[in-house]
């Protein structure tokens, strides 16, 4: 595990900055620090650690060194910076108070200036008040930059950074408590903002990848941000923990150990920062990662965690309560965690709890909410919801009388072909179902293809409406000796050549979501674990 407190080499920093620091050329140092030539987003821990060595005989130096002390949780040095008279001691002291605040800390109030918005953002982060944080993120886009009186801030660079940060914050908040479609679009926009080489750009690329996975696509490409974190130009500890925590729920959708790696790292950072609210969040994620990996021994840590979180905000209580319910498959626990998640604006957790409730104890109110939130949010794969539970939830929704494209896609993304087929058949043959849901159902029947799928298509084709014509068109797409349709064969073949879903879609004029479905159904038919294995099996069947 990377040690973010370890001293990093300074190779690659502007030579004039290193020289000015070595010779204590105050005028040159101030010029470089306030010109935006060495932004922390680009140079990361290299510049943050060097700023920690600045002298304290100038307010600008004291402010920059104070930010370095905050970033590393060096509270003694932060006090020395405050005593030396920085440009804005209120900012440094307020952030220290928020980071070190006890578990029952109340919020700081709604921000009306950008300076106060920074404090509100950090308090939302520490209390996991995600609904308030999302509303804040939307307001922030309209707040003017008010750093004109700050001699320690490079104006042009700050405007570029603020635009990148504000868009990316809103993107991750939409991925936590809003619409995934919006999150994906904002994440793509963020990749073009800020300075070239800023570490938030790989974060934005990872966020886009993970959101596509949550939307049901077969997105398994390597993540970048953790790699950047290990580099000397990766972010300092405080920035790392703040941003990684907002990726954790999406990392739970992957089976590559990335959640365990992130959970261990943020837990270590929280302990070294001495932040009670960060500690309780990261302890919950440490236990979640172990349960996710099948290590039930961590269940013994849950009672203590629940006691600690008992008197805190709903956002800090929601995940411990969910984990306790998950460990015991307790419907009452899932109901409580859903209520807490709703109060704190953690839509992803509310959806996961509702999916478990649909599978374990389906009730009309819970089913109605689950269907509504799936439709509105775009979630198709849910954190800590296994394939079997997702399939059972989809069946419960259908049996409860609900018809929706979201239900069809939830069943399809569950990776259980029999359930996907049953749900799709019910939707396709129900003339009262929404037209979009019936179209999606016919598409699933076509992708599954063999056996009941084609039989259902033949039955549907006897009608006289648009859905019947669509079924007739799909029936003309036959299947070969592999059991795959021609389109599935094309998609698997291109995937085997290393093309991404986006590249395959561009070549075949398909959406990424359709490409993902073709791959998922091909894997199910072939009994393959992943796209690479499916490509190998198809090649073997063809006698290559």
Render pLDDT for 97-120 as a digit per residue (tens, 0 to 9): 999 999 877 655 555 566 677 788
Query: Which pLDDT score, from 0 to 100, does residue 293 have?
Result: 92
Q: Which residue has the tokens 């259908």?
A: 398
* 39 located within any domain: yes
Query: Which pLDDT score, from 0 to 100, does residue 300 have?
Result: 94
Closest CA to 91 of 64, 125, 116, 124: 116
Can you list the residues of the chain whose pLDDT is less than 70?
Answer: 106-115, 145-153, 448-453, 477-483, 525-527, 540-544
* 152 located within any domain: no
Q: Which residue has the tokens 């319910």?
A: 325
* 196 located within any domain: no
> CA–CA separation, 178 vs 351, rounded Å?
12
**Cβ-Cβ contacts under 8 Å for 520 (sequence gap 6 or more):** 218, 412, 413, 415
Cβ atoms within 10 Å, residue 11? 8
> C-alpha angle 229/231/235, rounded to 5°?
45
- Please classify residue 496 by burial: count the beta carbons closer than 10 Å to its beta carbon, then call 0-12 exposed, 13-18 middle and 19+ buried: middle
Sign of CA dihedral 407, 413, 414, 418: positive
Q: Which domain holds residue 48?
A: 1-100
* 229 located within any domain: no
Judge contact between 147 and 158, C-beta under 8 A: yes
The DSSP call for residue 301 is G
**Structure-token pair, residue 277:** 């609210």
**Structure-token pair, residue 264:** 């261990």
Give strand pairing partners of 485.
479
> CA–CA separation, 286 vs 375, rounded Å?
31
| pLDDT tens digits, 307-343 | 999 889 999 999 999 999 999 999 999 999 999 999 9
Sign of CA dihedral 201, 202, 204, 209: positive
3-state SS, residue 219:
coil
Q: How far is CA 502 from the centre of its chain?
A: 20
Q: How many domains does the chain have?
A: 1
Q: How far is CA 113 from the centre of its chain?
A: 28
* 437 located within any domain: no
The DSSP call for residue 195 is -
| pLDDT tens digits, 391-419 | 999 999 999 999 999 999 999 888 888 89
**Structure-token pair, residue 162:** 């603020």
* 30 located within any domain: yes
> CA–CA separation, 226 vs 231, rounded Å?
9
Closest CA to 404 of 424, 422, 381: 424
Judge contact between 177 and 131, C-beta under 8 A: yes
> CA–CA separation, 279 vs 285, rounded Å?
10
> CA–CA separation, 12 vs 362, rounded Å?
59
Query: Which pLDDT score, from 0 to 100, does residue 480 have?
Result: 44
Conformation bin of residue 73: beta by default, left when phi > 0, alpha when psi is -120 to 50: left
**Structure-token pair, residue 299:** 């269940």
**Cβ-Cβ contacts under 8 Å for 485 (sequence gap 6 or more):** 446, 447, 449, 477, 478, 479
**Structure-token pair, residue 404:** 């929706």
* 29 located within any domain: yes
> CA–CA separation, 77 vs 89, rounded Å?
13
Closest CA to 397 of 426, 436, 417, 440: 426
C-alpha R_g of the chain: 26
* 484 located within any domain: no
> C-alpha angle 251/266/137, rounded to 5°?
70
Judge contact between 256 and 530, C-beta under 8 A: no
Percent of the chain with pLDDT over 70: 92
Judge contact between 131 and 344, C-beta under 8 A: yes
> CA–CA separation, 45 vs 237, rounded Å?
9
| pLDDT tens digits, 169-190 | 999 999 999 999 999 999 999 9
Judge contact between 450 and 479, C-beta under 8 A: yes
Query: Which pLDDT score, from 0 to 100, does residue 481 have?
Result: 43
> CA–CA separation, 170 vs 423, rounded Å?
34
């Amino acid at each position: 595990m990377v040690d973010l407190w370890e001293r990093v080499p300074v190779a690659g920093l502007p030579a004039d900055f290193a020289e000015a620091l070595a010779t204590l050329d105050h005028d040159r140092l101030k010029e470089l620090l306030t010109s935006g030539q060495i932004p922390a987003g680009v140079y990361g821990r290299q510049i943050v650690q060097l700023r920690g060595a600045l002298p304290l005989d100038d307010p600008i130096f004291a402010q920059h060194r104070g930010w370095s002390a905050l970033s590393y949780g060096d509270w003694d040095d932060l006090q020395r910076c405050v005593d030396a008279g920085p440009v804005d001691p209120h900012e440094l002291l307020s952030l220290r108070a928020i980071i070190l605040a006890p578990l029952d800390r109340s919020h700081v109030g709604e921000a009306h200036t950008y300076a106060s918005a920074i404090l509100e953002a950090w308090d939302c982060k520490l209390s996991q008040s995600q609904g308030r944080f999302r509303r804040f993120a939307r307001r922030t886009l309209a707040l003017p930059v008010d750093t004109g009186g700050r001699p320690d801030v490079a104006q042009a660079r700050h405007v570029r950074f603020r635009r990148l940060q504000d868009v990316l914050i809103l993107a991750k908040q939409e991925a936590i408590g809003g619409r995934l479609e919006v999150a994906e679009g904002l994440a793509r926009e963020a990749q073009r903002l800020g300075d070239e080489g800023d570490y938030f750009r790989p974060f934005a690329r990872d966020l886009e990848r993970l959101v596509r996975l949550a939307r049901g696509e077969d997105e398994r490409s390597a993540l970048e941000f953790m790699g950047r974190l290990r580099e000397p130009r990766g972010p300092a500890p405080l920035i790392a923990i703040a941003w990684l925590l907002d990726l954790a729920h999406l990392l739970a959708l992957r089976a590559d150990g990335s959640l365990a790696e992130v959970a261990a790292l943020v837990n270590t950072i929280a302990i070294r920062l001495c932040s009670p609210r960060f500690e309780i969040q990261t302890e919950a994620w440490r236990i979640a990662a172990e349960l996710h990996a099948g290590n039930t021994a961590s269940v013994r840590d849950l009672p203590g965690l629940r006691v600690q979180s008992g008197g805190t905000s709903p956002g800090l209580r929601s995940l411990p309560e969910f984990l306790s319910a998950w460990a015991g498959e307790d419907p009452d626990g899932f109901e409580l965690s859903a209520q807490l998640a709703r109060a704190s604006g953690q839509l992803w957790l509310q959806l996961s709890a509702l999916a478990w409730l649909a599978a374990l104890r389906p009730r009309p109110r819970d089913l109605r909410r689950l269907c509504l939130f799936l439709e509105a949010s775009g979630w198709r794969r849910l954190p800590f919801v296994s394939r079997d539970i997702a399939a059972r939830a989809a069946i419960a929704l259908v049996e409860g009388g609900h018809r929706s494209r979201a239900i069809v896609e939830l069943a399809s993304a569950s990776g259980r072909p029999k359930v996907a087929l049953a749900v799709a058949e019910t939707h396709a043959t129900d003339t009262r179902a929404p037209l979009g849901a019936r179209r999606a159902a016919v598409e699933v029947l076509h992708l599954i293809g063999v056996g009941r799928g084609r039989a259902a298509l033949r039955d549907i084709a006897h009608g006289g409406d648009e859905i019947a014509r669509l079924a007739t068109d799909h029936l003309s797409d036959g299947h070969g000796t592999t059991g795959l349709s021609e389109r599935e064969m094309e998609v698997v073949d291109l995937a085997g050549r290393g093309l991404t879903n986006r590249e395959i879609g561009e070549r075949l004029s398909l959406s990424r979501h359709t490409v993902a479905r073709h791959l998922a159904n091909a894997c199910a038919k072939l009994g393959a674990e992943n796209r690479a294995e499916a490509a190998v099996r198809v090649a073997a069947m063809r006698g290559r």
